[in-house]
């Protein structure tokens, strides 16, 4: 197993670890380089747990985990659920429907209600940027951001970094090209922050309508020409395009988008020969990515899903299983 | 008939005449009856003496942009509670925006506001009438009847008229009656889903940005239409460098255009928003520090005429929300003067310029007799200590709503006493004269 970081990461769980210095994981922006690497190391040590027949490391035995999703997400929600259960936590899923009339109105009320049930951790996804932080201010337990608006999705960035390190053996010095709807993507923001903190060269590639103001301060390079942006890239990270919302306004049509910003074999050939292809899912095959690439040998998309469980186990363990956190 | 009042031992500051000197002031029958340099020249029998103790005596402030919730949302603010807050902040007159339920788009509602204010409000309430029915930006209202009912100007409050054609009609028709049009600038298609200033901060926060062009494009349009019609036009509030430039150019050619700035855009910038502080969610949004500096320069050079509070009471239900979903607006009547004095203490702007933008300039634009310390003018007067230190605390807020953008801010400068038509409507708890 590739292990380019600190060394003794063989033991999973909290034994021998420093306490994690935050109550919540709200975003990559709250983490320093050391804490990021620590979480990636912890996650790497969690990988074998999921691969063994008896998939359990009961460091969260007796803890209550609530998955509170204001936005549907089968994949992220089940990843957190499985991670919690493999650590022995009691997991409850709550999906909250938000209509346009009542949106957000229940957030603080919901927080107070759930808090009264004495959970140990609440995992929150919400369509509004900053909503998870707002909720965290109203509860007495750990809160993990599972995606808030266009702001952050920290466990996605961690699992992406772990996947890259597993495949490439290192992170520093690599070139990662992130391509697609940067403007509306929390995955892009968290990845840019995380990769930037680890001395990874980051490129963003998108038409100008999908590039937010000031992005040049977050990425090493900005490209509107995908071909140029992919040249020499070690990692190609594709983003989901919300094409129903973007068509006719941010992009003229799906077919034009696919022609210029969809990842196909011809464009991928411009990246390094050993470049890997990533996607946070769910994919729009034929919109941002050629199905043959998505399911091809260079795709690590299924590994991302596997690393997702390891990262979420590591984060839950770091937040909840440390003695200092338990007593706090 | 109340007793005459003599305010002695005062530092008389009157921007209308560029006066800043020691003096005394006599009030008789609610009007200023005399001004003296140095000591008062004879105190009338039975007069009340206010010893200003060397503090500033200035015209009461005129705030051109205030929202309340009366009628319709009295839990946010009534005319009475807004007036209490105004008195505490040294504001003796305010222009009431028509954004109520129902909107102030009919003479009968103007009449209601005036009568209700006379019965319950301790400062002068000057109703602005909606220039379009229901503030919907579709049909113009009865300007003539609204003026007869007592509307001081036409304004669509928080709304910005999107149709150039309709605005042209409104301006042409307002020119008939020599009525002032006050207009908030926001191109709806450029604002879109935006909730804060466009830029790196919005991007890292994952919030949609509002470009400056959402303001400058309607401003450029408005100024051209104002020139075409000759209407008296006031850009309600500008927030960015580009707007200062547009106003500077327009003023070279026309004496009938003016503009205001919210104290928030003079005292704060976009960095105050982080992280997701909804009390700083405003329209126009807080802009960059460069834009704020341009606002200060615009004030100094006279391009910006008026500073207002943009007092907009919102209850916690609509403010304790994720940023994008929270309502816009902050209260400001109580902190207007103190926040403006920050610019004086920082050495950026002189006291006379700051006060002019809150007294004589709005009075000129609105055609009021107040806003100056002249014999015959209404005795709307404030005594303030420009150096008095205090901290803005939620528990001390007079307004019915608590959504201040200055919570916890250290202020230097406070109103000690406020007179409206010669009647004391506010005395500071620590003002020795308050015992009287």
Closest CA relative to residue A280, chosen from A304, A310, A299, A264: A304
Instruction: Give me the residue spans of the domains in chain B.
Output: 60-366
Q: Is A263 helix (H, G, I), strand (E, B) or coil?
A: strand
Mind telling me how many Å the CA of B159 is from chain A's nearest CA?
21
What is the rounded distance in angstroms from the CA atom of residue A150 to the CA atom of residue B169?
A: 41
Q: Is A105 on the interface with B (CB under 8 A)?
A: yes
Q: Give which of B197, B201, B206 to mutate to test A binding, by max A Cβ within 10 Å.
A: B206
Phi, psi of B145 (to 5 degrees): -70, -35
CA dihedral A76, A78, A81, A83 (to 10 degrees): -70
Query: Taking CB atoms and an 8 Å limit, are A128 and B209 in contact across chains?
Result: no
Query: Is the separation of the CB atoms in A287 and A262 below 8 Å?
Result: yes
A-B C-beta contacts closer than 8 Å: 72
> What's the Rg (C-alpha) of chain B?
21
Q: Which one of A104, A217, A218 has the shortest CB-CB distance to B322?
A: A104
What is the rounded distance in angstroms from the CA atom of residue B166 to the CA atom of residue A15?
A: 72
CA B72 to the chain's CA centroid: 22
Phi, psi of B394 (to 5 degrees): -55, -40
- Please indicate if the annotation marks A297 as binding a ligand: no
Query: Is the separation of the CB atoms in B84 and B123 below 8 Å?
Result: no
What is the rounded distance in angstroms from the CA atom of residue A324 to the CA atom of residue A310?
A: 22
Q: Which one of B199, B324, B325 has the shortest CB-CB distance to A213?
A: B199
Q: Which one of A104, A186, A213 has the shortest CB-CB distance to B325?
A: A104
Domain B60-366 sits in CATH at 3.20.20.140
Query: Is the separation of the CB atoms in A114 and A151 below 8 Å?
Result: no
Structure tokens that stand for B318 in this block = 């609509």
Q: Is A189 on the interface with B (CB under 8 A)?
A: yes
Q: Is B192 on the interface with A (CB under 8 A)?
A: no
Query: Taking CB atoms and an 8 Å limit, are A149 and B199 in contact across chains?
Result: no
Residues 71-100 of B with CB under 8 A from A: none
Please tell me the predicted confidence (pLDDT) of residue A311: 98
Query: Taking CB atoms and an 8 Å limit, are A213 and B202 in contact across chains?
Result: yes
Query: Taking CB atoms and an 8 Å limit, are B200 and A217 in contact across chains?
Result: yes
Q: For A186, which residue in chain B has the nearest alpha carbon?
A: B206
Q: What would the pLDDT profile of B58-116 be if each residue is shown by its tens digit?
A: 999 999 999 999 999 999 999 999 999 999 999 999 999 999 999 999 999 999 999 99
- Return all residues near A69 (Cβ < 8 A) that are at least 6 apart: A76, A77, A93, A94, A95, A96, A124, A125, A146
Chain B residues inside the 8 Å CB shell of A105: 321
Query: Strand pairing of B232-235 and B209-210?
Result: unpaired
Mean pLDDT of B359-379: 98
Q: What would the pLDDT profile of B147-169 be if each residue is shown by its tens digit?
A: 999 999 999 999 999 999 999 99
Chain B residues inside the 8 Å CB shell of A108: 320
Chain B residues inside the 8 Å CB shell of A104: 321-322, 325
Length of chain A: 328
> What's the Rg (C-alpha) of chain A?
19
Query: Taking CB atoms and an 8 Å limit, are A29 and B202 in contact across chains?
Result: no
Closest CA relative to residue A198, chosen from A224, A239, A168, A228: A168
Q: Is A134 on the interface with B (CB under 8 A)?
A: yes
Q: Is B202 on the interface with A (CB under 8 A)?
A: yes
Q: Is the peptide bond before B71 cis (omega within 30 degrees of 0)?
A: yes
Structure tokens that stand for B196 in this block = 């804060």
Please tell me the predicted confidence (pLDDT) of residue A326: 41
Please tell me the predicted confidence (pLDDT) of residue A100: 43
Structure tokens that stand for B9 in this block = 């031992």
What is the rounded distance in angstroms from the CA atom of residue A174 to the CA atom of residue A232?
A: 10
Q: Is B102 on the interface with A (CB under 8 A)?
A: no
Closest CA relative to residue B330, chosen from B280, B268, B288, B292: B280
Query: Taking CB atoms and an 8 Å limit, are A186 and B320 in contact across chains?
Result: no
Query: Is the separation of the CB atoms in B305 and B268 below 8 Å?
Result: no
No. of helices (H) and no. of strands (E), chain A: 13, 9
Q: For A151, which residue in chain B has the nearest alpha carbon?
A: B206
What is the rounded distance in angstroms from the CA atom of residue A155 to the CA atom of residue A142?
A: 15
Q: Which one of A126, A150, A214 has the shortest CB-CB distance to B322?
A: A126
Q: Which one of B198, B200, B324 has the shortest CB-CB distance to A129?
A: B324
Please tell me the predicted confidence (pLDDT) of residue A17: 64
- Please indicate if the annotation marks A118 as binding a ligand: no
Is the pLDDT confidence value at B292 over 90? yes
Can you say whether the dihedral through the CA atoms of B225, B227, B231, B233 is positive or negative?
A: positive
Phi, psi of A258 (to 5 degrees): -60, -40
Share of chain B above pLDDT 90, in %: 93
Q: Is A97 helix (H, G, I), strand (E, B) or coil?
A: coil
Q: Is B275 on the interface with A (CB under 8 A)?
A: yes
Mind telling me how many Å the CA of B275 is from chain A's nearest CA?
8
What is the rounded distance in angstroms from the CA atom of residue B124 to the CA atom of residue A158?
A: 60
Strand-pair partners of B306: B260
What is the rounded distance in angstroms from the CA atom of residue B81 to the CA atom of residue B84?
A: 5
Q: Which helix (H) or strand (E) holds A239?
A: none
Query: Taking CB atoms and an 8 Å limit, are A130 and B199 in contact across chains?
Result: no
328 residues of chain A, pLDDT tens digit each: 444 444 444 456 655 567 899 999 999 999 999 999 999 999 999 999 999 999 999 999 999 999 999 988 889 999 999 999 999 999 999 887 754 445 555 788 888 989 999 999 999 999 999 999 999 999 999 999 999 999 999 999 999 999 999 999 999 999 999 999 999 999 999 999 999 999 999 999 999 999 999 999 999 999 999 999 999 999 999 999 988 778 788 999 999 999 999 999 999 999 999 999 999 999 999 999 999 999 999 999 999 999 999 999 999 999 998 554 443 3
Is the pLDDT confidence value at B426 over 50? yes
pTM of the entire predicted model: 0.92
What is the rounded distance in angstroms from the CA atom of residue B26 to the CA atom of residue B42?
A: 10
- Please indicate if the annotation marks A252 as binding a ligand: no
Query: Taking CB atoms and an 8 Å limit, are B322 and A134 in contact across chains?
Result: yes
Can you say whether the dihedral through the CA atoms of B15, B16, B19, B23 is positive or negative?
A: negative
CA A133 to the chain's CA centroid: 17
Query: Is the separation of the CB atoms in A205 and A229 below 8 Å?
Result: yes
CB under 8 A, 24+ apart: contacts of A221-228: A223/A177, A226/A179, A226/A260, A226/A261, A226/A267, A227/A267, A227/A270
Please tell me the predicted confidence (pLDDT) of residue A10: 43
Strand-pair partners of A65: A91, A121
SS (H, E, C) chain B: CCCCEEEEEEEEEEHHHCEEEEEEEEEECCEEEEEEECCCCCCCCCCEEEECCCCEEEECEEEEEECCCCCCCCCCCCHHHHHHHHHHHCEEEEEECCCCCCCCCCHHHHHHHHHHHHHHCCCEEEEEECCEHHHCCCCECCHHHHHHHCCCEEECCCCCCCCHHHHHHHHHHHHHCCCEEEECCCCHHHHCCCCEECCHHHHHHCCCEECCHHHHHHHHHHHHHHHHHCCEEEECCCCCHHHHHHHHHHHHHCCCEEEEEEHHHHHCCHHHHCCCCHHHCCCCCCCCHHHHHHHHHHHHHCCCCEEECCECCCCHHHHCCCHHHCCCCEECCCCHHHHHHHHHHCCCCCHHHHHHCCCHHHHHHHCCCCCCCCCCCECCEEEEEEEEEEECCHHHCCCCCCCECCCCCEEEEEEEEEEECCEEEEECCCCHHHHC
Query: Taking CB atoms and an 8 Å limit, are A213 and B320 in contact across chains?
Result: no
Query: Is the separation of the CB atoms in A158 and A40 below 8 Å?
Result: yes
Q: Is A133 on the interface with B (CB under 8 A)?
A: yes
What is the rounded distance in angstroms from the CA atom of residue A154 to the CA atom of residue B94?
A: 48
Is the pLDDT confidence value at B294 over 90? yes
Q: Please provide the DSSP assignment of A66-84 as one string.
A: EEEESS--HHHHHHHHHHH
Mind telling me how many Å the CA of B207 is from chain A's nearest CA?
6
Output B368 or A72, whichever has higher pLDDT: B368
CA distance to B71, B74, B229, B288, B402, per residue, from B79 (Å) = 9, 9, 34, 34, 16
Q: Is A130 on the interface with B (CB under 8 A)?
A: yes
Chain B residues inside the 8 Å CB shell of A197: none
Closest CA relative to residue B299, chosen from B247, B364, B249: B247
Q: Is the peptide bond before B275 cis (omega within 30 degrees of 0)?
A: yes
Query: Taking CB atoms and an 8 Å limit, are B322 and A107 in contact across chains?
Result: yes
* Phi-psi label, residue B315: left if phi above 0, alpha if psi -120 to 50, beta otherwise: beta
Please tell me the predicted confidence (pLDDT) of residue B129: 98
What is the rounded distance in angstroms from the CA atom of residue A74 to the CA atom of residue A93?
A: 11
Chain B residues inside the 8 Å CB shell of A133: 275-276
Query: Taking CB atoms and an 8 Å limit, are B276 and A133 in contact across chains?
Result: yes
Please return the burial class of B21, using the count of CB atoms within 10 Å of its CB with bins 0-12, 13-18 and 19+.
Answer: exposed
CA B372 to the chain's CA centroid: 16
What is the rounded distance in angstroms from the CA atom of residue A102 to the CA atom of residue A77?
A: 23
- Please indicate if the annotation marks A76 as binding a ligand: yes
Question: CA neighbours within 13 Å on the CB side: how many for B106?
Answer: 8
Q: Which one of B198, B208, B322 has the shortest CB-CB distance to A131?
A: B322
């Amino acid at each position: 197993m590739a292990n380019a970081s600190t060394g003794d990461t063989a033991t999973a769980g909290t034994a021998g670890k420093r306490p994690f210095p935050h109550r919540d994981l709200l975003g990559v922006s709250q983490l320093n380089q050391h804490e990021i690497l620590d979480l990636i190391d912890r996650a790497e040590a969690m990988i074998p747990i999921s691969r063994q027949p008896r998939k359990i490391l009961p460091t969260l035995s007796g803890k209550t985990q609530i998955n509170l999703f204001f936005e549907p997400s089968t994949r992220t929600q089940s990843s957190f659920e499985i991670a919690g259960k493999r650590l022995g936590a009691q997991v409850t899923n709550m999906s909250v429907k938000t209509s346009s009339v009542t949106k957000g109105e229940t957030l603080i009320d919901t927080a107070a209600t759930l808090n009264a049930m004495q959970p140990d951790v609440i995992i929150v996804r919400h369509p509004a940027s900053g909503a998870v932080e707002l909720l965290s201010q109203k509860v007495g337990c750990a809160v993990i951001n599972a995606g808030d608006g266009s702001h952050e999705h920290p466990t996605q960035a961690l699992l992406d970094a772990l996947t890259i390190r597993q495949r490439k053996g290192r992170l520093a010095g690599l070139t990662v090209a992130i391509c697609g709807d940067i403007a509306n993507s929390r995955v892009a923001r968290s990845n840019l922050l995380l990769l930037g903190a680890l001395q990874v060269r980051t490129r963003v590639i998108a038409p100008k309508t999908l590039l937010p103001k000031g992005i040049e301060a977050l990425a090493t390079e900005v490209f509107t020409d995908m071909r140029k942006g992919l040249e020499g890239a070690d990692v190609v990270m594709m983003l989901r395009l919300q094409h129903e919302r973007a068509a006719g306004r941010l992009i003229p049509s799906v077919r034009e988008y696919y022609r210029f910003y969809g990842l196909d074999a011809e464009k991928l050939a411009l990246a390094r020969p050993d470049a890997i292809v990533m996607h946070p899912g769910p994919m729009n095959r034929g919109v941002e990515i050629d199905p043959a690439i998505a399911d091809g040998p260079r795709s690590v998309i299924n590994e991302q899903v596997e690393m997702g469980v390891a990262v979420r186990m590591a984060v839950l363990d770091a937040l909840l299983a440390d003695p200092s956190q338990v007593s706090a | 008939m109340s007793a005459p009042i003599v305010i002695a031992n005062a530092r008389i500051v009157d921007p209308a005449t560029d006066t800043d000197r020691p003096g005394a002031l006599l009030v008789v029958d609610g009007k200023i009856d005399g001004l003296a340099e140095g000591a008062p020249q004879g105190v009338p029998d039975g007069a009340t003496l206010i010893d200003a103790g060397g503090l500033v005596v200035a015209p009461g402030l005129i705030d051109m942009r205030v929202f309340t919730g009366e009628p319709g949302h009295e839990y946010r603010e009534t005319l009475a509670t807004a007036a209490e807050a105004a008195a505490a902040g040294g504001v003796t007159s305010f222009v009431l925006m028509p954004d109520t339920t129902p909107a102030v788009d009919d003479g009968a509602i103007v009449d209601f506001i005036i009568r209700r204010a006379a019965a319950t409000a301790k400062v002068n309430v000057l109703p602005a009438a909606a220039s379009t029915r229901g503030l919907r930006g579709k049909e113009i209202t009865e300007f003539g009847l609204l003026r007869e009912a007592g509307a001081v100007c036409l304004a669509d409050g928080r709304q910005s008229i999107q149709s150039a054609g309709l605005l042209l009609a409104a301006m042409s028709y307002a020119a008939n009656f020599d009525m002032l049009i006050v207009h908030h600038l926001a191109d709806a298609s450029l604002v879109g889903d935006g909730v804060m200033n466009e830029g790196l901060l919005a991007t890292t926060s994952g919030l949609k940005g509002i470009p400056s062009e959402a303001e400058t494009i309607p401003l450029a349009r408005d100024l051209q239409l104002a020139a075409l019609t000759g209407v008296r036009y006031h850009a309600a509030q500008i927030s960015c460098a580009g707007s200062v430039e547009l106003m500077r150019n327009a003023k070279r050619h026309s004496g009938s255009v003016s503009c205001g700035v919210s104290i928030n855009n003079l005292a704060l910038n976009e960095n105050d928003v982080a992280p997701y502080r909804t009390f700083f969610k405003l329209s126009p949004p807080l802009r960059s520090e460069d834009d704020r500096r341009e606002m200060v320069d615009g004030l100094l050079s006279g391009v910006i005429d008026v500073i207002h509070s943009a007092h907009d009471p919102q209850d916690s239900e609509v403010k304790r929300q994720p940023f994008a979903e929270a309502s816009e607006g902050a209260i400001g009547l109580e902190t207007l003067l103190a926040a403006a004095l920050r610019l004086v203490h920082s050495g950026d702007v002189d006291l006379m310029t700051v006060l002019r933008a809150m007294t004589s300039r709005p009075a000129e634009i609105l055609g009021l007799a107040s806003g100056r310390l002249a014999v015959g003018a209404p005795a709307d007067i404030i005594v303030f200590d420009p150096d008095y230190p205090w901290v803005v605390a939620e528990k001390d807020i007079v307004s019915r709503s608590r959504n201040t953008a200055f919570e916890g801010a250290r202020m230097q400068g406070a109103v000690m006493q406020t007179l409206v038509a010669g009647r004391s409507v506010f005395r500071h708890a620590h003002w020795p004269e308050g015992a009287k």
